[in-house]
A and B are shown apart, each in its own frame.
Chain A
Amino acid sequence: MVKEDENNQAPETSSNGLLVVKNLTKRFGTNVVLDNVSLTIEKGKTTIVIGPSGCGKTVLIKHLLVLLRPNSGEVYFKNRRIDNLGENELNRLRTHYGFLFQGGALFDSLSVFENIIFPIKQHCEITSWGQVEELVKAKLAMVGLDGFQNYYPAQLSGGQRKRVALARAIALSPEVILYDEPTTGLDPVRGDVISELIMKLQRELGVTTVVVTHDMTSAYKIADRIIMLHNGKIIADGDAEHIRNYPHPVVQQFINGQVSEDDLAVLRMSGTISQAQFLPRDFEQ
């Protein structure tokens, strides 16, 4: 029993971190998505995870609240090991988190009001509906959407859906908010609104924030710390200035949005556009 308790304690080196990932490896079939990743997320800070599409950013963030289980390695929350907990215990633990999914993941069949009260209904005994309505109003006001209570997700724009999803994520006043590509699919102005909102929530609620993104404008704006993932490993870790000046070529290509020489070589070898075009006459007998 004592041994089990010892096993569930976070490693001493990471006792400052609210969330600690230690030697995490995740494979899907033979594809290694995360390869021995170790990471400490500090309390009250905004940590940004950047990296090219398919590098394992979303997989990493999903491990932080154990929506995915690692093949090896450990995840700790408040010095308690969580990756080996049963679903019932995890469900209690997950009320400390808010998660903004890439597409919002709002429930289509429920109105905005019903979406936001979903976690409240699941975990709290509702004694006064008046209070709940006030709470929903307050949460929607935080994301600038008060008055949209009776709308359905299909009636909202992409940016509005993300803001409603954010209001739902903060419904239980979480300690940690995880954002999966919050600005993807939005125009630059709407993207900036979401970035401002992330900063506002961090300021006003004092939450620990982890954002997965490949939007460098947003990353530089909101980050206390930026981590770059590449081929399942962390290749850079530091504040915005550190990342801007980091000499690793992959980091520089990514943050400046430049195509690599290897990619260019592949494009050159794949023929010209005119060679790849077919006209109706090419198929005439």
Chain B
Amino acid sequence: MIEMVGAKAIGSVDNVGRFARFVWQSMTASLKSLGRRQTYPLIWTQMLVIGVRSVPVVMITGAFVGMILGVQAYDQLRGMGLEERLGVLINISVVKELGPVLAAVMLAGRVGGALTAELGTMNVTEQIDAVRSMGTNPVLYLVAPRFLACLLLTPFLIIYADLMGILGGFFVSVIVKGINSQPYWSFSAAGVELWDVSIGIIKGFFFGGAIAVISCYKGFTCKEGAHGVGQACTEAFVASFISILALDFALAVIFKAIYNTFWSLKGLV
């Protein structure tokens, strides 16, 4: 029993070490690939696959988030006679939390799953070994373009999700529920600061990086066979999802501290 627990503990520490090493290799390879012209076409390709082709699903996600918030919050605010402030509630929730988190979760499913399945299949069919056998670093060739594409484009996708969330909220609140649009927008503008929009977008860098590195790692370490690839995809999504939530919590705490310390001083500048 003690032996089993010990073996599990050693295995877990070993896995954490391997993952940390992989993260480091991915980051250094990504920096290196920025200086290599022959990597640029690979980065463009991944940007198309990961970024451009995710725009529709991310926009749909954002729109529904805004519309659902409108439907759910309208009755409560109307009961207090505050329905004109519905815009603040919807827009601040969308740009600060729900837009970035749900867009990232959608990306973890769409992009993360595809990355793990692609690299996992390459792994079990020895294509990653083939890259190494030809004297090429597989992290530089396979991971760096995907990492950079996720890192750079997730914030842009979050902007799309935010925009559609705002429009979705407007559609339900003003068009469907008949709230006066002038106070709807003026309360929103007063309640949502540049800071709120910025932190939502900054979170995108962290979420995108986490999705890429977790999905690539799971693909690189997946076990043999169709079952192994399927299991790796599931593990990649679960790990990415939990990482998004954990990062969101950590970033919320950090940004709150920064806001309390510095943002309140902006009036003095």
A residues with a Cβ closer than 8 A to B are: 62, 65, 67, 87-88, 90-95, 97, 99, 101-103, 105-108, 118-119, 121-123, 168, 172
Contacts and interface: CB of A to CB of B under 8 A. Distances in A.
A67 B125 contact: no
Nearest to B45: A109
Given A91-B132, A118-B134, A122-B135, 19 more contacts: A67-B132, A67-B133, A88-B137, A90-B135, A91-B137, A93-B135, A94-B135, A99-B130, A99-B133, A101-B126, A101-B129, A105-B125, A105-B127, A106-B127, A107-B122, A108-B127, A118-B136, A122-B134, A168-B134
B137 A94 contact: no
B126 A123 contact: no
Main secondary structure of the interface of A (DSSP, over half): helix
A208 to B, nearest CB: 16
B135 to A, nearest CB: 4
A107 B127 contact: yes
Contact of B126 (A93, A97, A102, A118): A102
B182 interface: no
Interface in B109-147: 121-122, 125-127, 129-130, 132-137, 141
B38 interface: yes
A114 B137 CA distance: 18
B135 A92 contact: yes
A119 to B, nearest CB: 4
Contacts of A65: 133
A119 B134 contact: yes
A121 B134 CA distance: 11
Contacts of A97: 133
Q: Which of B125, B127, B130, B136 has the most CB of A within 10 A?
A: B130
A119 B134 CA distance: 6
B125 A94 contact: no
A103 B126 contact: yes
23 contacts: A62-B129, A67-B132, A88-B137, A90-B135, A91-B136, A91-B137, A94-B133, A95-B134, A95-B135, A101-B126, A101-B129, A101-B130, A102-B126, A103-B125, A103-B126, A106-B127, A106-B130, A108-B121, A108-B127, A118-B136, A122-B135, A123-B135, A168-B134
The 9 closest A-B pairs by CB, nearest first: A94-B135, A105-B130, A99-B133, A105-B126, A119-B134, A91-B135, A95-B135, A101-B126, A122-B136
